[in-house]
Amino acid sequence: MEAIAIHRTAEHANVEIPDIVPDRVAYIIDQLKNPKEVALLRAVYKNLFFMIGVLASYEGRKRNLKMSGELAERLMARDRKESDANGQQLEKTLHQADFFISNAHNNYDSRAVALRRFVGLIHGDNGLTPTPKERGMFAAFTAGLRSACLSRQVGAAIMSADGSLISTGCNDVPRAGGGLYEAGSNDQRCFFQNGFCHNDHHKDALKQDISRILVDGGLDVAIANKLADAIKKETRIGSLIEFSRAVHAEMDAIVSVARQGTAKVAGAIMFTTTYPCHNCARHIVAAGIKIVYFIEPYEKSLASDLHNDSITHDPITEPGWDAFDSTQKVAFIQFEGVSPKKYSEFFQGTARKDLSGKAVKHKPLADKQMNEFLDDYKELETRVISRLHGLAKIPAPEIIPPPTAA
Phi, psi of 125 (to 5 degrees): -65, 115
What is the pLDDT, as a whole number, of residue 71? 75
Q: Which SS3 state, helix, strand or coil, does residue 404 take?
A: coil
Among 294, 339, 287, 293, smallest CA distance to 310 is for 287
In the chain, which stretches have pLDDT less than 70?
8, 16-22, 57-69, 72, 76, 78-83, 85, 104-107, 314-326, 362-379, 393, 396-406
What is the pLDDT, as a whole number, of residue 362? 61
Q: What are the strands, taking DSSP E only, across 140-257?
A: 155-159, 165-170
Break the chain into its structural domains and give their ranges: 130-192+247-333, 198-239
Contact by Cβ (8 Å): 382, 363: no
Among 177, 178, 159, smallest CA distance to 168 is for 159
Phi, psi of 289 (to 5 degrees): -65, 140
What is the pLDDT, as a whole number, of residue 127? 81
Considering the entire predicted model, what is its pTM?
0.81
What is the pLDDT, as a whole number, of residue 376? 64
Radius of gyration for the alpha carbons in the chain, expressed in angstroms and rounded: 25
| Superfamily name with CATH number, domain 130-192+247-333 | Cytidine Deaminase, domain 2 (3.40.140.10)
Dmax (CA) for the chain in angstroms is 89
State the Cα–Cα distance between residues 320 and 337, nearest whole angstrom. 14
State the Cα–Cα distance between residues 166 and 79, nearest whole angstrom. 38
Contact by Cβ (8 Å): 113, 99: no
What is the pLDDT, as a whole number, of residue 370? 55
What is the pLDDT, as a whole number, of residue 374? 45
pLDDT tens-place string over residues 327-357: 789 999 989 999 999 999 999 877 777 788 8
